[in-house]
Structure 1
Amino acid sequence: KIVFFFSAMARPHVLVIPYPAQGHVLPLMSLSRYLAKQGIQITFINTVFNHNRIINSLSKSSSHDYLGDQMKLVWIPDGLEDSPEERNIPGKLSESVLRFMPNKVEELIERMIGESTIISCVVADQSLGWAIEVAAKFEIRRAAFCPAAASSMVLGFSIQKLVDDGLIESDGSPKVNKTIQLSPGMPEMETNKFVWVNLKNKESQKNIFELVLQNNKSIESTDWLLCNSVYELETAAFGLYPQILPVGPIGWSQSLEDDESTSLGSFLPQDRDCLDWLDRYIPGSVIYVAFGSFGFMGKIQLEELAIGLELTKRPVFWVTGSGDQPPIKPGSGLIKVVRWAPQREVLSHRAIGCFVSHCGWNSTLEGAGNGIPFVCIPYFADQFINKAYICDVWKIGLEFEQDELGVVSKLEVKKKIDEVMRNDGEYTKRAMVVKEIMMKSVAKDGISYGNLTKFVNWIKKEAN
């Protein structure tokens, strides 16, 4: 049982509500820690399942050392307690988010108000439009936070136009297979790979599309629409919708010296010994392989990837997440495999020379923000938009080509990695330019820094 304790002091108090997936929780946790450092009280809501995973992953320290007095982690049920295996079934989680969570959040806010807690603002994941509506019902100020690229949000805002142009049905299904560009300078998108289409499951597609439509409506009543991105890297998308304010990469204005706390929000315990292993290798020599927390790769593809990586004859650091163990031959000393790692620190390590990635937005920002070139193997949701940025817009990586069976062959793995890591360093040079742009955005005169400062000042003003 969680005991709720809310301070009655008059400092601002922000309620933070992420979508219950790892890639959404981490950036909102970074934003929360930033706000807490500005003297703002934070109550961070997770589902009970994710709450327990986060607490259990904080192995080296008590949660209080990570959180201090400014942050409280609280939980609500997700409706899947009686059948936990359903959390792994695509469609079930999105259904819980859509149908079950709204009432639980409303009950929590009622309880907080009943305990005389004054909530200055609700910061909700942009994909939870209902959370904005719940806040409005209680007349609480509200901000939506998009943990993905601005282009992903712009795609959602463009649904009616896509229907009118005959590109998609009213349920989001593509009418034609076509590559489109919402605006010059934005990445090209394929209609059969739109965020809500490419979820590998019809039920998920239906639920996520319904969430997107709901969000488009509720977003109109937000006071702020923040995005974990960088103006200079997505100028065209921000130009189309000036109300979207870049504040990314979130958490990077804090130095990496308090790195222990970058693990806060992680669902799995991090293997920190990997940093000692990386110390053995010369700068730019190690291939880092990670596909996020889901680990979605089939057995045949895992095998081809493992053999292809061995063929490069380079050191490899491979993070599996929840996926299967790669079939590495015994005695393959150049390859280290762990379940989870402190990714930001790994990518900032001088030994890393290339990132083989699924192109989740957090991974995209963390790789680019450290000047690391990519080899891309996107799988679902917004990863195809991010891949287009990496390969076509910023030109800091290459995509693996699949054969007629949809498999990336071992020879293709070796070829693309060799090309990205070749001696002229063409991809690394361009990645370093992108890194520079990102660092400037969170520095004192940067656009992201300025937007975040205005947001903090507004919260403090609202509290008084």
Structure 2
Amino acid sequence: MIKFVTLPDGLDPEDDRSDNFKVLGYMNSTMPSLLPKLIEDINALDPENKISCILATFNMSWALQIGHQMGIKCAALFPFSATGLVSALFGPKLIEDGIIDSDGNPTKSQEIQLAPNIPMMNPKDFLWNNLGKDFFKFMVQEMKDIELLSEWWLCNTACDLEPGALSVSPKFLPIGPLMEPDENNNNNKSSSFWKEDTTCLEWLDQQQPQSVVYVSFGSLAVMESNQFKELALALDLIDKPFLWVVRPGNNGDKNNAFPNEFHGNKGKIVSWVPQKKILNHPAISCFVSHCGWNSTIEGVCGGVPFLCWPFFVDQFLDKTYICDVWKVGMELERDQNGFISKEEIMKKVKQLLGDEGIRKRSSKLKEATRKNLSEGGQSSKNIEKFVNWAK
């Protein structure tokens, strides 16, 4: 049984909660003083079943501090990749080695390897870049607290996906992929806070197998207006059915979202979808993705080839795994101005759909990853291990 309780975040109803750093600051100054009483009140309701473990996500290490003070076991849960966590963990060492400065900025253009069996990567692609020096310093302190106060680091990954990163610390506990074993079932429950347009599933049922180009850039990325229009024109020119998720605020030009030349008659445009079911639908041919970790895991578990379009944070690290390590996708190349042309999109879609090697590797990776959730699979064993420890 799961019981939901809440703590106020400290903001007023009229405050802008789309400002993530403002929300984070208020939460960190408001919630820590309220959590102990909440725990005491919950424990008083059932003294025989007191809270035995606190599981806190990244950005919430204050909850681990409270748990430590109250003698409660603590563990951390990370929604991004194990490699992203390793890069955050190594922040102080990267400064010491002169690879980045004290604000987190790369000192020069180079590729480095964080640890054996982790792919080479450019420091400009680390998850704190483009978020400012204040976030970097906050992240470094956050990781120090998490390393000190949590016994386990639960990650939505599998041992087959990031073995090098998972070997960095014995605290890593891969429990992914975090999804139902069969995403093709008729369970209509959703974990999304946004309303899903399920008519797209009926539309997909009418399409040919492996014919639909699926396009989605997650819940945060905002595309510049001219780039948005270029993507629209590319989807027209590809001459294939497409399913495009355009959530509110997805593009910067609300008054003229689509170019006048755009027809879109081969596709379907929706505001939000049940993505796991979409990626497991036989009509999907490829996934044009921002490479956020949740979408990456869901695409892997759907066995769908990727066309990578990363924007920020950990998405460039995830793209490296998709294209260079697992070899289940291709990257869209930007021009000298950072722009991706419709010709580039058309060319890469054609190349991707014609690459049988990528499709075979995608299918093989899907089976290997999903096997972790089956009875006796490594992720299933790790979840059982964690639950027994938490009790």
TM-score, normalised relative to structure 1: 0.78
Q: Tell whether the 8 Å contact from 1:193 to 1:384 is kept in structure 2 after alignment.
A: yes
- Match among 178, 183, 190 for residue 250 of structure 1: 178
Q: In 1, Cα distance between the equivalents of 2:362 and 2:110?
A: 30
Find the counterpart in structure 2 of residue 52 from structure 1: none
Q: Structure 1: which amino acid aligns with 2:235? A: L
Matches within 5 A, 1:301-312: 301-312=227-238
Describe the SS at the equivalent of 2:285.
strand
- Match among 70, 81, 90 for residue 149 of structure 1: 81
Matches within 5 A, 1:232-381: 232-253=160-181, 256-257=184-185, 259-261=187-189, 263-264=190-191, 266-322=192-248, 323-324=250-251, 326-327=257-258, 331-381=263-313
In 2 relative to 1, CA 161–402 (structure 1 residues): closer, same or farther, beyond 3 Å? same
Matches within 5 A, 1:121-160: 121-160=53-92
Describe the SS at the equivalent of 1:180.
coil
Q: In 2, Cα distance between the equivalents of 1:456 and 1:256?
A: 27
In 2 relative to 1, CA 320–90 (structure 1 residues): closer, same or farther, beyond 3 Å? same
Q: In 2, Cα distance between the equivalents of 1:119 and 1:254?
A: 32
Q: Tell whether the 8 Å contact from 1:132 to 1:219 is kept in structure 2 after alignment.
A: no
Unaligned runs of 5+ in 1: 1-69
Q: Tell whether the 8 Å contact from 1:94 to 1:207 is kept in structure 2 after alignment.
A: no
Find the counterpart in structure 2 of residue 213 from structure 1: 141
Number of equivalenced pairs: 383
Find the counterpart in structure 2 of residue 419 from structure 1: 351
In 2 relative to 1, CA 219–89 (structure 1 residues): closer, same or farther, beyond 3 Å? same
In 2 relative to 1, CA 332–142 (structure 1 residues): closer, same or farther, beyond 3 Å? same
- Match among 381, 385, 389 for residue 454 of structure 1: 385
Q: In 1, Cα distance between the equivalents of 2:101 and 2:14?
A: 34
- Match among 316, 325, 328 for residue 393 of structure 1: 325
In 2 relative to 1, CA 169–102 (structure 1 residues): closer, same or farther, beyond 3 Å? farther
Q: Structure 2: which amino acid aligns with 1:238? A: L
- Match among 152, 155, 158 for residue 227 of structure 1: 155
Describe the SS at the equivalent of 2:359.
helix
- State yes or no: 1:99 paired with 2:25: no
How much has 1:207 moved relative to structure 2?
3.1
TM-superposition CA deviations, 1:11-59 (whole Å, max 9, x none):
xxxxxxxxxxxxxxxxxxxxxxxxxxxxxxxxxxxxxxxxxxxxxxxxx
Unaligned runs of 5+ in 2: none
- State yes or no: 1:112 paired with 2:42: yes
CA-atom RMSD, angstroms?
2.0
TM-score, normalised relative to structure 2: 0.92
Q: Tell whether the 8 Å contact from 2:307 to 2:348 is kept in structure 1 after alignment.
A: yes
Q: In 2, Cα distance between the equivalents of 1:267 and 1:395?
A: 32
- Match among 8, 12, 15 for residue 81 of structure 1: 12
Q: In 1, Cα distance between the equivalents of 2:182 and 2:303?
A: 18
Q: In 2, Cα distance between the equivalents of 1:332 and 1:148?
A: 34
Find the counterpart in structure 1 of residue 362 from structure 2: 431
Q: Structure 2: which amino acid aligns with 1:429? A: K
